[in-house]
Structure 1
Amino acid sequence: MKPPEERKEELWRESCSFDISGREEISPSFRLPYSTWKTLNRLRVGVSRCKKTLAKWGYTQSQEDILCDCGEGQDEAHLLVCANIGTTCTRDDLNACTPAAIKVAEFWRNVI
């Protein structure tokens, strides 16, 4: 009979039967300025301080406060396609750190 610590680890390993290998490489966004890197990561994981999120957290006073400068509702999806940026990007672009993703992150870096 195995000690409880070993059995617990064994059960944990059995329940987590997915094959994800660790990455041993530096992220493509490593050399970006900190504010751009931070914004890119916020956009990647969907936890930016967009206006709809600020309203949800109680930091805005009215429904007009959730509108972007372009007139659309500013939510996570809108941040990637806002007409004011001049380009759009996708979640895949964010993960690959493409030039379009960097441009989007640079646009929002002092806003979100």
Structure 2
Amino acid sequence: MTKQHGKMRLVFGTAVALVICLVVTPEIVFASAGQVQAKLTNAANVVKGILTALVVLVGICAALFIIIKRMPSADDPHEKNEVFKSVGRVCALVGLAAAVIWLLPWVYSLFT
């Protein structure tokens, strides 16, 4: 077998595989616009969920760091007030970050 025959077999085999793929699974290859839009929306929601989980995890770690750092002086009322303020700020920032993650795409979709 020559080098030319090997190349022709490869090209022919690839073409046959492509035709079989298109004939056997047309619903996957030729998806409608609604199916594509649904898959993109689902993917965007998954990404938003992962980002929200990441923000919440970072917020929990920050709040625990603040609490553990200030634990030795927990009897002091001034120190306890500072802990509550700091943890409150962390909670507010986590809420703000989660709201931005979910509301920014919604606001963008209003203008498109």
Q: TM-score, normalised by structure 1?
A: 0.29
Query: Larger C-alpha radius of gyration, 1 or 2?
Result: 2
The structure with more helix, counted as a fraction of residues? 2
Q: TM-score, normalised by structure 2?
A: 0.29
